[in-house]
Amino acid sequence: MPTASPPPLRVALLVMAPCALLGWVFYYYLFRTTPGQDWMVFDTAAQAWFNHDLALLFDGPRFTAQLNATHSWLSEPLVFHPWVYPPYTLLLALPFGLLPWWANYTLFQGLSLALYGIALSLWAPPGRRAALILGTLASAATAFTFGSGQNSFLSAALVTMGLWFVPRRPMLGGAFLGLLAFKPQLAFLVPLALVCTGAWRSIAAAALVVCLLIGASLIVPGIAVWQAWLHLFLGGDAAFHQWVNEGRLHGQSIYACAIIAGASPALATAAQYIAIAIAAACVVRAFRRPFDPSTRLAVLLTAMIFAAPHVGNYDAVMLGEAAILLLLQPPRRLPLALPIAMWCLLSFQPPSVLRLGLFLPLAALGTLLTATRQDPLPQA
């Protein structure tokens, strides 16, 4: 039976281009008075280290006050913006913190974007490098990343590049994936994918990198920061946990979407666990069977966002990449309307503001299920 041909790229562009324009305009107006606000958190954390005031990292109100005092040019003060990352993430902020704010913000975004572009180029089908890179970066999630000053180009680059090198240079691929430890809420499905392919050398390399990060962070910034961070995340600050619970609703996780749609917290939590189980099952199927590598990458990227207990609009650059990877594949029995819808719905986030965004998890779920139901490649 002949397979259905995918729509020509020009047809997809007719649907995707207006959504991209809408998203970029919306996020421009959203961040035009507070550009780079999330990278300000990294910069303020680095300055706390340089000023020997590490207690600032775990005093959310004082940290936010310091952030606003440093960036008094903001049109309005930022609301509660604490430091929430694992202590070894400070190692990423310190080198950039040596530069003035605008320089380190621009440099980090430029370097992480360049790394992401290199990672994408590795996966481009012949003659489609520009289509993959531009199609991925045109998504509204890219606009959100620039506007907020987030690190999602880096996390997406680490997954994309790591998975490329795993079958070619296992230790290097594992090292890239190990660095994803700075985003543990996204990374927990990566080991499952590696186990399913028997990539034991990559697993060892990733584990070594994580151990080295933890070991280095016990020296810089030091064990006291680890103790304070664990105290904070184990329930030592009621105000912080209230902020975490409220902040989750401004993302696009299954939990957040369920709450916004009217579910109780218990039902939303159950839905999140079910999403994790479905995502894990799809990853197992994709990586245990001989699917082509780009399908595997698209499934893993989509599953990481679909399963994440907390995920922001910026993290969803991975969904934009997954959609373009699937659109550029040879004709298959994959209904490409789903990845197109997934890509377009990135312009309607967060769902707490734009309710059409509630359909993004459904598009991601449909993409996962259909991508893993197609026939795998015939084995040689």
The residue segments making up the domain with residue 316 are: 9-33+130-373
Higher-pLDDT residue of 329, 223: 223
pLDDT of the residue at 80: 82
pLDDT of the residue at 6: 47
At 44-97, the pLDDT tens digits run: 999 999 999 988 988 888 999 999 999 988 888 888 888 888 899 999 999 999
Is 109 a member of any domain? no
Is 79 a member of any domain? no
Is 313 a member of any domain? yes
pTM of the model: 0.93
Is 74 a member of any domain? no
Is 354 a member of any domain? yes
pLDDT of the residue at 240: 65
If pLDDT is split at 50, 70 and 90, which confidence band does 1 have? very low
**Matching residue, tokens 């959504």:** 19
At 287-312, the pLDDT tens digits run: 999 889 999 999 999 999 999 998 98
Higher-pLDDT residue of 5, 144: 144
Is 51 a member of any domain? no
Is 88 a member of any domain? no
At 270-279, the pLDDT tens digits run: 999 999 999 9
pLDDT of the residue at 161: 98
pLDDT of the residue at 238: 67
| Total tally of structural domains belonging to the chain | 1
Is 3 a member of any domain? no
Average pLDDT, the chain: 89
At 67-80, the pLDDT tens digits run: 999 998 888 888 88
